[in-house]
Amino acid sequence: MVSTSTQIAGFHFENCLMNAAGIYCMTKEELMEIENSQAGSFITKTGTLEARSGNPEPRYSATSLGSINSMGLPNLGFHYYLDFVRELEKEESSKNHFLSVVGLSPDETHLILKEIQASDYQGLVELNLSCPNVPGKPQIAYDFEMTENILSDIFSYYKKPLGIKLPPYFDIVHFDQAASIFNKFPLSFVNCINSIGNGLVIDDEQVVIKPKQGFGGIGGDYIKPTALANVHAFYQRLNPSIQIIGTGGVKSGRDAFEHILCGASMVQIGTALQEEGPAIFSRILKELEEIMLEKGYHSLEDFRGKLHYLS
Ligand code: DHB
């Protein structure tokens, strides 16, 4: 028997696969497609204080190796998603879920989190510190001082389970600096990684998306090595109480296996879910179970974080 069940901050999941924020999660209808698939959970589109229509289209484009997007945080407002997960989780048999949020300023982020703190929602929240696509707004998580200040303010009033979505880091010193900040706070998890920000894809002589003269976040095959490195770097550095969610370049059971081997407790699927649809979860789950069976692993704990090094 093989089990891919997992837990984050004590919340149980029947299996470790789910959507990445931004994919199949804008409306209740899309979220219900993930809910009714083989996914172990879903996360909502990142909700802001007010609804947003986002950047002009086309704002997502796929290539044979992945995707580029500059959506610009289109969403129905965080209340819509908060109300929806509260509604769903009233059912005893409901899966557990993740609510993704961020404000367009620190003040807005605090307004949102204070409202969630005051609500009866007891579930998981992912604070998105890594949106690369809103013109004029830098990614919070690339500014370590701002990140520490925001987290410090948040944890003065926020007492529910909270994790953060991170952009990729590319320097060992940055892994060290980021981890030493995150270790100061009672975070439930970090999610590595968001898209590699501000890449450029060209078709013939022209960019493929309209916003920002074609610049956008890169996902898919392009980013798996960067994602695995970030998952493992934080697995090596963070307090064991801070779990890791692995996101980036997952389109097969083998990719999910690698994320777990690097230390992930849950694995999210972005570009490949967008391209293949929610049936992808049963395929990847089956492929992951086959790999575990072949290797004689019964549970994710048998190999999580146990990456082999060359001696
Ligand atoms: C968007 C993109 C992101 O990578 C993110 O984390 C949040 C929002 C967007 O463009 O909508």
10 is in an annotated binding site: no
Torsion sign (Cα): 175, 60, 46, 97: negative
Q: Whose CA is nearest to atom 11 of ligand 1?
A: 73
167 Cβ closer than 6 Å to some ligand 1 atom: no
3-state helix, strand, coil in the chain (%, to 5): 35, 20, 45
194 Cβ closer than 6 Å to some ligand 1 atom: yes
Q: How far is the CA of 284 from the centre of ligand 1 (A)?
A: 24
4 Cβ closer than 6 Å to some ligand 1 atom: no
Q: Whose CA is nearest to atom 1 of ligand 1?
A: 73
Residue 62's φ and ψ, nearest 5 degrees, are -100, 150
pLDDT of 64-119, one tens digit each?
999 999 999 999 999 999 999 999 999 988 999 999 999 999 999 999 999 999 99
Cα–Cα separations (whole angstroms), residue 164 to 47, 58, 59 = 14, 28, 25
72 Cβ closer than 6 Å to some ligand 1 atom: yes
Q: How far is the CA of 168 from the centre of ligand 1 (A)?
A: 14
Pocket probe for ligand 1: among 127, 128, 190, 193, the residue whose CB has the most ligand atoms within 8 Å is 128
Neighbours of 67 (CB within 10 A): 27
131 Cβ closer than 6 Å to some ligand 1 atom: yes
Share of the chain above pLDDT 90, in %: 96
pLDDT of 185-233, one tens digit each?
999 999 999 999 999 999 999 999 999 999 999 999 999 999 999 999 9
Strand partners, 244: 190
246 is in an annotated binding site: no
pLDDT of residue 209: 98
286 pLDDT higher than 90: yes
4 is in an annotated binding site: no
Q: Whose CA is nearest to atom 2 of ligand 1?
A: 131
Q: Whose CA is nearest to atom 6 of ligand 1?
A: 131
Q: Which two tokens stand for residue 245?
A: 């969610």
Q: How far is the CA of 133 from the centre of ligand 1 (A)?
A: 6
Question: The pTM is what?
Answer: 0.98
Question: Which amino acid makes up residue 279?
Answer: A
User: Three-state DSSP class for 155?
Assistant: helix
183 is in an annotated binding site: no
pLDDT of 17-40, one tens digit each?
999 999 999 999 999 999 999 999
List active site positions.
131
